[in-house]
Amino acid sequence: MSALSATHLQLQRGGRPLIDDVSLNLPPGELLALIGPNGAGKSTLLRLLSGYLPPDSGRCLLENRPLAQWPAQALARRRAVMLQQTRLAFDWPVAAIIAMGRAPWGNQQNRDIVEHVSALTGCQALHHRRYITLSGGEQQRVQLARSLAQLWQDDGPRGWLFLDEPTSALDLYHQQQLLRLLKSLTLRGQLHVCVVLHDLNLASRWADRILLLHSGKLVAQGAPQAVIREDVIRRWYGAEVSITPGPDNRPQVFLCA
C-alpha cells in the first residue's frame, strides 16, 4: 500500500493564509497527531488531506493519483473522516448509523463488521438507542465505529482515517480506550490515523509522530520527544509549561501556576 502525500499545500480565505506551504507524507502503520493553538489550521489541513477541501495550490496524491480524480465510492473505500460535529437530520438507531459506514461496499459482510466494530468501540449497548438521544461522548464513539466500518476489509481497517478532536467529549476512560484502540490498529501496518488533538499529553503518549502548526505553517514535526519540548511549546503556544519525562520516556506537560 502506498502512502498518501501532500506537497506545497496552500489555502487562503479573505486574503489570509489558512494553510501555508505544507508538505507531508502519511504512510500506513502510523498514528500522526496534529497539534497547535486555536486557529493554527489543524482542522483545515485535515480537510485538505482527506479531500473535503480543494487547495488553492499544491496537491494531495493517493496512490500517485490526485484526490480530486478519485471516484467518490473508490475514495470512500480508502479514507474515512470523523469531523468535530456530525449533525444528522434523521432520527435513526445507532446500529443503522454505524452501518452507514458500509455504504461504499454494498453487501459485503455488513452485519458481522458492524457487530465487530461496535464491540471494539463499546457501542453494542447503544445499538437500539436513537442517535439524537445520545450524549456528545456517545455520539463520538458511534462516529468512530462508523468510520472504522467504512475502512474494514477482511480482518481489519485499511487505508487512512482522519479524526478531528475525537476525544473532546470523552471521559478519561473512553479517551484511553479510543487511543489505545487506534494505536493497536495502526500496529497492523495497514492503517494510517491522522488525528487532531488539543491535549498535548494525549498526543505525546500515543502518537508516533507529531506535527505542530502555527498560523497555517508547519513549524515543528517529529517524534514526541522532538516536538513536545519546553522551548517549542512556550514559543508557539505562548504558555508557560514545565515538561518532564513520563512513561516510556515520552514528555509529560504541566502548566505552570
- Say what percent of the chain tops pLDDT 70: 96
Alpha helices (H) along the chain: 42-50, 72-76, 94-99, 110-121, 136-151, 172-186, 200-206, 224-227, 230-237
Residues 30-57, mean pLDDT to the nearest whole number: 97
Task: Please give the pLDDT value at position 108.
Answer: 67
Task: Please give the pLDDT value at position 154.
Answer: 87
Residues in the chain, overall count? 257
Residues 249-256, mean pLDDT to the nearest whole number: 96
How many angstroms separate the CA atoms of 157 and 39, rounded?
31
Task: Please give the pLDDT value at position 24.
Answer: 96
- Cβ–Cβ contacts within 10 Å for residue 169, how many? 17
Q: Which residue has the cell 477541501?
A: 53
Q: Name the residue type at position 12.
A: Q
User: b/e for 122-157, b at 16 or more Cβ within 10 A?
Assistant: bbeebbeeebeebeebbbbbbbbbbbbbbbbeeeeb
Residues 174-184, mean pLDDT to the nearest whole number: 97
When pLDDT is cut at 50, 70 and 90, the band that residue 247 belongs to is confident
pLDDT digits (tens, 9 = 90+) for 139-162: 999 999 999 999 999 889 999 999
Residue 4, phi then psi, degrees to nearest 5: -90, 130
Prediction pTM value: 0.95
Q: Do residues 233 and 203 lie in contact, with contact meaning Cβ atoms separated by under 8 Å?
A: no
Task: Please give the pLDDT value at position 86.
Answer: 65
- Rounded (5°) CA angle 221-227-229: 160
